[in-house]
């Protein structure tokens, strides 16, 4: 008898993955955690019943969250990752020339432990000497940290579901903390979810970001395992417009290219009509 993992994208739409076996199932103080060996995508991490990352298509999400901001910043020396305990984002960040220090703040140590055991493709960079792993609340860390400001902050969190650990990372107070934690020319990016099913997330975040940052941009990619496939990211920048890379790509990638970088900012009308006018106008370009 076939085993299937089922996730609800909406009350009227469900996604299913055929499962070879359950590799891990447990409960941390923060969330339920599973690792499922899926037939199509390989070992996959599930948090609170929601598919987070798979070995089959994780490269798309992680390359786009890392390279779009880091290659748009001319000197991303110091990088903060909030969330991302599976390690995939850190792996990509540490490939970028000029990155000297990465601080990864993951609230749930069990996520890291489980990823090390079952997702070695993700965690290859967690022992890099340039990386410091801290188990703490990302929002609290950003508010309390008194160290040198960061050039780039990347927020790789769960979605804002109820009282889940990711919810606080979508609030105006958190966006203010991001602004204060960045250098004078710093920028940040966070994932803002599946635009077809939850467009209110990117709408709310972008309207919050434009009140705090001189530049706000929204871009997207397609991730097969995420509901609706079209997945969005929202950025705030103090100086640099992240629509065009300023640093050349000198290493092999599986998804990201300089052309994809620029095309990712072309927004479909059903999404752009929800965003602040300054964002839409800037992303249309002068010849639109």
Binding-site residue numbers for spermidine are 62, 86, 156-159
Residue in the block written with tokens 């609706």: 228
Active site residue 156: yes
Q: Which two tokens stand for residue 221?
A: 């990619």
CA 195 to CA 269: how far, in whole Å? 12
Which superfamily does 4-54 belong to?
Spermidine synthase, tetramerisation domain (2.30.140.10)
Least confident span in 5-19, 82-96, 181-195:
5-19
Nearest alpha-carbon partner for 187 in 31, 68, 50: 68
Helix (H) or strand (E) holding 4: strand 3-10
What count of other Cβ atoms lies within 10 Å of the Cβ of residue 285? Answer: 11
Average pLDDT, the chain: 95
Name 236's Cβ contacts closer than 8 Å, sequence gap at least 6. Answer: 175, 178, 179, 187, 188, 209, 212, 213, 215, 216
Sketch the domain layout of the chain as residue ranges: 4-54, 57-283
- pLDDT at res. 11: 87
Has domain 57-283 been given CATH number 3.40.50.450?
Answer: no
**pLDDT surpassing 70 at residue 280:** yes
- pLDDT at res. 256: 99
Kindly give the pairing relationship between strand 78-83 and strand 150-156. parallel
Percent of the chain clearing pLDDT 90 (strictly above): 86
**pLDDT surpassing 90 at residue 166:** no
Q: What are the φ and ψ backbone dihedral angles of 201, each rounded to 5 degrees?
A: -70, -55
Q: Which two tokens stand for residue 206?
A: 């972008």
Higher-confidence position of 169 and 286: 169
**pLDDT surpassing 90 at residue 177:** yes
SS3 content of the chain, % helix, strand, coil (to 5): 30, 30, 40
Binding-site residue numbers are 31, 62, 86, 106, 137-138, 156-159, 165
List the alpha helices (DSSP H) in 101-171. Answer: 109-118, 138-144
Question: What digits encode the pLDDT tens for the residues 193-217?
Answer: 998 999 999 999 999 999 999 999 9
- pLDDT at res. 179: 97
- pLDDT at res. 229: 85
| Beta carbons of 203 and 268 less than 8 angstroms apart | no
Name 125's Cβ contacts closer than 8 Å, sequence gap at least 6. Answer: 87, 90, 91, 93, 94, 131
pLDDT, mean of residues 11-36: 96
Residue in the block written with tokens 């103090």: 238
Q: Pick the catalytic residue: 57, 108, 151, 156? A: 156
Helix (H, G, I), strand (E, B) or coil at 211: coil
CA 233 to CA 265: how far, in whole Å? 10
pLDDT, mean of residues 233-252: 97
Percent of the chain clearing pLDDT 70 (strictly above): 98
Binding-site residue numbers for S-methyl-5'-thioadenosine are 31, 106, 137-138, 165
pTM of this prediction?
A: 0.96
- pLDDT at res. 162: 67
User: How does residue 287 score in pLDDT terms, banded at 50, 70 and 90?
Assistant: very low
Question: What digits encode the pLDDT tens for the residues 116-130?
Answer: 999 999 999 999 999
List the alpha helices (DSSP H) in 122-265. Answer: 138-144, 172-181, 199-209, 258-263
Higher-confidence position of 288 and 14: 14
Tell me the C-alpha to C-alpha distance, in Å, between residue 285 and each of 4, 233, 267: 45, 19, 12
Question: What digits encode the pLDDT tens for the residues 254-279?
Answer: 999 999 999 999 999 999 999 999 99
Least confident span in 34-43, 46-55, 154-163, 218-227:
154-163
């Amino acid at each position: 008898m076939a085993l299937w993992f089922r996730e609800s994208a909406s009350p009227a739409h469900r996604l299913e993955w055929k499962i070879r076996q359950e590799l891990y199932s447990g409960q941390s103080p923060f969330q339920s955690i599973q690792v499922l060996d899926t037939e199509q995508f390989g070992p996959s991490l599930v948090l609170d019943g929601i598919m987070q990352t798979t070995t089959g298509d994780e490269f798309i999400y992680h390359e786009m969250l890392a390279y779009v901001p880091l290659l748009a910043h001319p000197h991303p020396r110091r990088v903060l990752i909030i969330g991302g305990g599976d390690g995939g984002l850190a792996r990509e960040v540490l490939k970028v020339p000029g990155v000297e220090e990465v601080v990864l703040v993951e609230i749930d140590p069990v996520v890291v432990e489980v990823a090390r055991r079952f997702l070695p493709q993700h965690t290859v960079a967690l022992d890099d000497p340039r990386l410091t792993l801290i188990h703490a609340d990302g929002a609290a860390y950003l508010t309390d940290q008194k160290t040198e400001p960061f050039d780039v902050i990347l927020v790789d969190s769960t979605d804002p579901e109820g009282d889940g650990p990711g919810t606080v990372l979508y609030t105006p107070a958190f966006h203010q903390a991001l602004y204060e934690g960045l250098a004078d020319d710093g920028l940040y990016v966070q994932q803002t979810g599946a635009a077809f099913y939850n467009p209110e997330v990117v709408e709310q975040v972008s309207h919050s970001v434009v009140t705090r940052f001189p530049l706000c941009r929204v871009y997207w990619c397609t991730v097969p395992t995420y509901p609706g496939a079209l997945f969005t990211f929202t950025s705030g920048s103090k100086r640099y417009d992240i629509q065009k890379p300023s640093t050349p790509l000198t290493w092999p990638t599986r998804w990201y290219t300089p052309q994809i970088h620029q095309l990712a900012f072309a927004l479909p009308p059903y999404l752009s009509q929800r965003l602040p006018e300054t964002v839409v106008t800037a992303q249309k370009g002068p010849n639109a």
